[in-house]
Structure 1
């Protein structure tokens, strides 16, 4: 029993080491790897080699699949290029399995010895993440050594032979077991390394090992498909095409597994080397052959998973034209138009708040919450589009405009989140209990809501025109809103002191609404600052505001 526990502990350590390496590499080189994959669409072979290189670094075709499918979901990667990258990822995983099965057990203590202090002393730096990667590599090598040492005495037990004897009957069953282990460990690399180690120890036969390897490849494809279930059709098509390649390869090679198991020892005597060599050769031949089938598979996947037209235009960007990217000024204009669409959605959400303050309309509350998903979708699209604009080609004015666009996009996304929370509070504290605000409270909330809508429109106008007078007016409106928020809070507290029943019932919600509206107003009015700052009028505006406040106090 202790020997079995040691084996399972070695497997767990192997999986954990793979996870640590993947995390460390992505944190150190994540942006660079994404950039490499994003620029690899010009050539199918270039995309294939990019997949090989990136996967060799992160040691996980699943990690590569997550990056590539996210690009496809945003419309930044053609399906054919994505499939080529995924095929390259399969080859990259096989090459790393070959490297890690070399006799490198002596390297494990060295990697851990240097990696631990490096990581603990500089966790938040890139160098600290390099230390994390070294720890992961050391744990992988240590786990493989532990599995080898544990597997030797296991073969002396009759029970162990019976347990693994269940894997020697059916090639399809063995492949399914390999797929299941790859999915459970979230790593086909870990499954292949374990299989090679068990085969070298004589725990499983070479035929079973080959079937497990084929199944592990299939399991990684299933993992990628499951990871895209919540994404759009573009991402699911990419994962489906990759799985189709792996499934086709498995169905073609599995009938020959017994023949290969008899022939491989003639060429490669060491079972461990035979398993890993088969993995490399199988994936290389399969992926190179599938490169010529990318176009028909892409067409089939598109027919199986077509793009569904959206019931409204809010979920998909309308103005982010990729053809305009080589002309930064034009691309910035398209991005600005899309940001204005986000502003229109936020305006609609604000109008719905006015209705919810008066009426307990649960359907409208839920629709308003759903609209925040539209805001998030367009926010992600605009942000991704802006990152594709070359900053080096921007002059000073365009660079400032780029900054203004991304700042407003972020502020509107934050506003959507705040409105979503406001609606959630109204639903929980007012609609669920069928409460209503007092007449005085309604009047105050209506006033603030109307000012919010007006300031949002004025803020978008300032963003569009960069008009100095409108920016000064917007900043003055921000100060006026702040004064009203304070005054209305005091009035509400006076009503509580007067024991007004409706004010008591809705007191917490009322004060939260006023506070959240103040935050929204600050976000809407923030577009004034870049205009005033560029005109050198920000200091003068604040000075003029202080003078007017002083005159008002004297009066």
Structure 2
């Protein structure tokens, strides 16, 4: 077999291995992603429980990168202190070694069984989680198949003098071998795949034990480089130097381990040969021992390391731009459930801005403050920018990576974001225009009319808070309460309108001067309420408590009455 054919075959088999690993990771993330995130959040009592949580989560996900994304998000926002975050990564690094241990055994005969079982579960599974686990089965089958093909490719090629000469040059020096493996791992974004490749080469005696050990250490180094090069950038906490503490700390312990391997390469190689022989198991066993040893070495001095990292990467103090997204971490886009949670947190910032605008509108109508009107208009610009950022962020999540619940939650977030932006537009373009006209023309509402407007605005502030609670909790009872606010505001508008016309008939001069303005404001407040109440629709719809239409059914389903296609409670 010619060298070109060998290299092409190796590349194709490695790609198949990477794709199988991707299917395993995505299937497990879809099936258990939210639960795993909760496990990480719970395991923060001390560095030991945090390390155990990182080990357990990464054993399932088989991606320390995915675990690192979760932990980086916690650490960057202050939810998780740096010491337990570093401990989680120590456990995560050990967790990635376990699948290598599994595949180091000759289990190629299981590949057809896993492929068939996974295919049946994926195509025939009635539940989403069953389909996700079917994806995991297919991925494991592809990984076993790719490893079998790697061995078939490497074994005869290992006897080719030209190939042995090339690999001898590349792996003859431990430093070059380590850097080569680090570069391959960085390019492949997977230490698991590269370590399995190294194990295949070592198992067929294509590379010597010393080179295998140096390359395994390099693969561990390369997996820690990716978060540094592709990690937090831009504004907000994601671009804060403090967000680099965790990935740099993880790289630091890998680099120390690589230096130890280079200094003690010969005795380590001799010891591993006595323990595991000179085949593929040597690479797999050293991968495990390397990460276990680093976890044992670094878990005790973690507080001192955390202090050093805090000194090297201090918190950046900046004047906050309210329109700059805080939680939209681009690095989390590869984990849909984390990215969607980030978008939800950013949406709550929009909700808080709407509350400030409603309270400001109440103050404007009470005080006729022109300066406050301009501040409220600027807040609408904040809403516009946040809406655009959230929509752009959600559209960059790969649809095929989301399960049904992820897609539904993303849709609910987009719906609320659009409704909040509409509320901001109504306050800016309608209510503030009305307030400007009132001030410019020196108009004055009647005491009763001013009280009606103030009462509805105060009610809307409470409704906005209720809408945020429904969005966060998804609680059915709270959603029902929010839905009833639609009828309450409609009744308040009707009462205020009737009272206004009563004052007009009585010839009240202030009511005559402000009549059109008063009616417009009442109508705008009702529209704002409708957009806020819409936060209840997803919860009520999932529980089956919404009708498709408010029209009454008559004579075979023909409707009468008014209200269009607005959903309503059963």
Both proteins in one fold, TM over 0.5: yes
Task: Tell me: CA distance 1:39–1:136, structure 2 relative to 1, closer, same or farther (3 Å).
Answer: same
Q: Which residue of 2 aligns with 1:250?
A: 258
Q: Which residue of 2 aligns with 1:168?
A: 171
Q: State whether structure 2 residue 110 is matched by structure 1 residue 102.
A: no
Kindly state the Cα deviation for residue 154 of structure 1 after the two structures are TM-superposed.
1.1
Any idea what the Cα deviations from partners look like across 1:295-324, whole Å, max 9, x if unmatched? 01111111122222341374799xxxxxxx
Task: Tell me: CA distance 1:408–1:175, structure 2 relative to 1, closer, same or farther (3 Å).
Answer: closer
Contact 1:471–1:529 under 8 Å retained in 2: no
Q: Which residue of 2 aligns with 1:474?
A: 489
**Structure 1: segments with no counterpart, 5+ residues:** 318-336, 377-406, 423-444, 481-516, 531-541, 550-555
Kindly state the Cα deviation for residue 155 of structure 1 after the two structures are TM-superposed.
2.0
1:142-181 pair list within 5 angstroms = 142-181=145-184
Contact 2:218–2:258 under 8 Å retained in 1: yes
Q: Which residue of 2 aligns with 1:488?
A: none
TM-score, normalised by the number of residues in structure 1: 0.65
Contact 1:209–1:275 under 8 Å retained in 2: yes
CA distance in 2, matches of 1:408, 1:349: 27
Structure 1 counterpart of 2:418, from 404, 414, 436:
414
Kindly state the Cα deviation for residue 173 of structure 1 after the two structures are TM-superposed.
2.1
Contact 1:25–1:57 under 8 Å retained in 2: yes
Structure 1 counterpart of 2:246, from 234, 238, 248:
238
TM-score, normalised by the number of residues in structure 2: 0.63
CA distance in 2, matches of 1:132, 1:190: 18
CA distance in 2, matches of 1:446, 1:365: 9
| SS state at 2:44 partner | helix
**Structure 2: segments with no counterpart, 5+ residues:** 327-347, 362-369, 392-410, 437-452, 467-480, 496-524, 539-549, 552-559, 564-570
Any idea what the Cα deviations from partners look like across 1:391-413, whole Å, max 9, x if unmatched? xxxxxxxxxxxxxxxx9998763
Q: Which residue of 2 aligns with 1:209?
A: 212
Task: Tell me: CA distance 1:525–1:121, structure 2 relative to 1, closer, same or farther (3 Å).
Answer: closer
Q: Which residue of 2 aligns with 1:132?
A: 135
CA distance in 2, matches of 1:93, 1:528: 42
CA distance in 2, matches of 1:467, 1:37: 33
Q: Which residue of 2 aligns with 1:278?
A: 286
Any idea what the Cα deviations from partners look like across 1:449-503, whole Å, max 9, x if unmatched? 74799887752144569999996573369999xxxxxxxxxxxxxxxxxxxxxxx
| SS state at 1:163 partner | helix
Q: Which residue of 2 aligns with 1:460?
A: 461
CA distance in 1, matches of 2:483, 2:57: 49
Structure 1 counterpart of 2:191, from 188, 204, 221:
188
Kindly state the Cα deviation for residue 106 of structure 1 after the two structures are TM-superposed.
0.9
Task: Tell me: CA distance 1:176–1:269, structure 2 relative to 1, closer, same or farther (3 Å).
Answer: same
Structure 2 counterpart of 1:343, from 354, 361, 364:
354
Structure 1 counterpart of 2:309, from 277, 301, 307:
301
Contact 2:350–2:417 under 8 Å retained in 1: no
CA distance in 2, matches of 1:9, 1:548: 64
Count how many residue pairs are aligned between Structure 1 and Structure 2: 422
Q: Which residue of 2 aligns with 1:7?
A: 10
- Comparing 129-138 with 68-77, greater Cα deviation is found at 68-77
Contact 2:87–2:299 under 8 Å retained in 1: yes
Contact 2:355–2:461 under 8 Å retained in 1: no
CA distance in 1, matches of 2:390, 2:135: 37
Structure 1 counterpart of 2:74, from 62, 71, 74:
71
Task: Tell me: CA distance 1:247–1:415, structure 2 relative to 1, closer, same or farther (3 Å).
Answer: farther
Q: Which residue of 1 aligns with 2:19?
A: 16
CA distance in 2, matches of 1:452, 1:375: 30
CA distance in 1, matches of 2:250, 2:138: 31
Any idea what the Cα deviations from partners look like across 1:164-213, whole Å, max 9, x if unmatched? 12322432222121111112211111111111111111222222211111
Root-mean-square deviation (CA, aligned residues, Å) is: 4.5
Q: Which residue of 2 aligns with 1:58?
A: 61
CA distance in 1, matches of 2:434, 2:492: 9
CA distance in 2, matches of 1:204, 1:417: 61
CA distance in 1, matches of 2:290, 2:127: 40
Kindly state the Cα deviation for residue 276 of structure 1 after the two structures are TM-superposed.
1.3
